[in-house]
């Protein structure tokens, strides 16, 4: 995708609108990612051709007609020297930036932001709550206090009896359990015609935003004691995904803890189009916004309120 070279900062800032797909590294907080990207953007804008600040015309007379001594003193200051103390033209606060959905500190992968006018798009995507896909890795034989790798080890157990067939069967059982739970909340039998008609209408989402639901879970790699699951979920968080690994370890008559969480897809936004850390520049952000704009054009339903929700009433 070819981009036209522009050296005028106001023109670039005018087109700095849309969804930004950033690859968040593990161990880095979302707020630090946001500040790093915005800092690089404002730094690049200030290095481009910027317009001169507008001069403010203020009367030198006080309401009573007397001269204002403070303004007379300011009038003697050289304008060029005064401009050196006002700071750069573009500040972090000049760019509106909204997060679509956060990731935990230990989680890496797709992280979506809305910039300037793209904030409204980010709000629509957030209300639609699209599925997120993860690659979640675990390690058998060791349990930790928080189910995450940087926590204190609490239990050790044998894991030689665990085989990939048992892990796959347990993953299928957990997926079926979550699917049954969704239809129970809807008040219909999973094997009924009503359940079939509901499923035909599209993806079913829980009415409660705080209730995690797993739509798909399968084993994609097994090298004892390490294994990796692909999980498609909604309303999830880092602690919940780590708890799933811990629960599977117990069901397998062993223990396990989560070693790595990677978000590979958020709705239609994939990790392949995520902006890596070395590309967190103004040029990279503009190119990335153009790529995500094509995704929204190809999948307009991401901005439409057409989801089907389960309600318990």
Measured between alpha carbons, how far is 143 from 127 in angstroms, rounded to an integer? 36
pLDDT grade, residue 83 (50/70/90)? Answer: very low
What are the residue ranges of helices labelled H in the chain?
Answer: 9-14, 30-46, 69-75, 79-83, 118-128, 164-186, 193-200, 238-251, 282-298
**pLDDT more than 90, % of the chain:** 56
Q: What is the mean pLDDT of residues 69-81?
A: 49
Phi, psi of 51 (to 5 degrees): -75, 155
- Comparison of pLDDT for 80 and 115, the residue scoring more: 115
Say if residue 250 is in the same domain as residue 188. yes
Q: Does pLDDT of 53 surpass 50?
A: yes
Q: What is the DSSP letter of 296?
A: H
Residue 205 is predicted with a pLDDT of 72
The domain containing residue 228 runs over which residues?
131-266
Tell whether 310 is covered by a domain. no
The residue among 10 and 231 whose pLDDT is bigger is: 231
Same domain, 99 and 191: no
What confidence category does residue 94 fall into, taking pLDDT thresholds of 50, 70 and 90?
A: confident
DSSP string of 36-85, one letter each residue: HHHHHHHHHHHTSB-PPPPPP---SB-TTS-B-HHHHHHHTS-HHHHHTT
Same domain flag for 73 and 187: no
Q: Write down the pLDDT at residue 3.
A: 52
Q: Whole-model pTM?
A: 0.81
Answer yes or no: is 258 within a domain.
yes
pLDDT bin (cut points 50, 70, 90) of residue 274 is very high
β partners of residue 8? 49
- pLDDT per residue as tens digits for the range 173-220: 999 888 877 776 666 666 777 767 766 766 677 666 778 889 999 999
Q: Are residues 118 and 135 in the same domain?
A: no
Lowest pLDDT segment from 42-56, 181-195, 206-220, 238-252: 181-195
181, 256: one domain: yes
Average predicted confidence (pLDDT) for the chain: 83
User: Does 311 map to a domain?
Assistant: no
Structural domain includes residue 216? yes
- Inform me whether the pLDDT recorded for 75 exceeds 70: no
Q: Domain containing 196 — which CATH number?
A: 3.30.2350.10
Same domain, 145 and 88: no
pLDDT of residue 86: 57
pLDDT of residue 269: 94
Please state, as a whole number, how many other Cβ atoms lie within 10 Å of the Cβ of residue 131.
16
Region at 34 (left for phi over 0; alpha for psi -120 to 50; beta for the rest) = alpha
User: CA torsion 300→306→308→311, rounded to 10°?
Assistant: 130
How many distinct structural domains can be found in the chain? 2
- Domain shared by 73 and 121, yes or no: yes
Same-domain status, 108 and 168 = no
- Residue-level pLDDT at 110: 95
Do the domain assignments include residue 68?
yes
Token pair, residue 179, equals: 């699917």
pLDDT at 204: 72
Domain membership of residue 308 (yes or no) is: no
Same domain? 193 vs 214: yes
Are 110 and 145 part of one and the same domain? no
Burial class (CB in 10 A: 0-12, 13-18, 19+), 216: middle
């Amino acid at each position: 995708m070819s981009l036209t070279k522009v050296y005028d900062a106001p023109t670039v800032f005018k087109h700095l609108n849309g969804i930004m797909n950033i690859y968040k590294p593990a161990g880095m907080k979302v707020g630090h990612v946001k500040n790093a990207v915005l800092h690089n953007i404002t730094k690049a804008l200030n290095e481009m051709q910027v317009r001169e600040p507008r001069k403010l015309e203020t009367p030198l007379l006080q309401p009573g007609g007397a001269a204002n001594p403070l303004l007379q003193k300011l009038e003697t200051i050289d304008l060029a020297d005064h401009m050196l103390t006002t700071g750069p033209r573009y500040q972090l606060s000049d760019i509106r930036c909204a997060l679509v959905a956060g990731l935990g500190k230990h989680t890496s992968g797709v992280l979506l932001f809305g910039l300037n006018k793209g904030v409204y798009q980010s709000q629509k995507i957030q209300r639609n709550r699209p599925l997120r896909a993860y690659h979640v890795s675990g390690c058998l034989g060791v349990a930790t206090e928080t189910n995450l790798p940087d926590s204190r080890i609490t239990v050790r157990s044998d894991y030689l009896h665990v085989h990939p067939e048992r892990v796959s069967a347990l993953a299928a059982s957990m997926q079926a359990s979550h699917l049954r739970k969704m239809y129970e909340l809807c008040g219909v039998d999973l094997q009924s015609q009503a359940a079939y008609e509901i499923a035909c209408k599209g993806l079913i989402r829980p009415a409660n935003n705080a209730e995690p639901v797993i739509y798909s879970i399968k084993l994609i790699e097994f090298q004892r004691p390490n294994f990796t699951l692909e999980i498609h979920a909604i309303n999830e968080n880092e602690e919940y995904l780590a708890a799933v690994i811990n629960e599977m370890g117990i069901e397998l008559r062993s223990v396990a803890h989560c070693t790595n969480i990677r978000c590979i897809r958020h709705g239609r936004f994939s990790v392949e189009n995520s902006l890596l850390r070395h590309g967190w520049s103004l040029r990279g952000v503009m190119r990335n916004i153009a790529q995500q704009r094509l995704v929204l054009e190809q999948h307009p339903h991401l901005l439409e309120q057409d989801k089907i929700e389960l309600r318990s009433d």
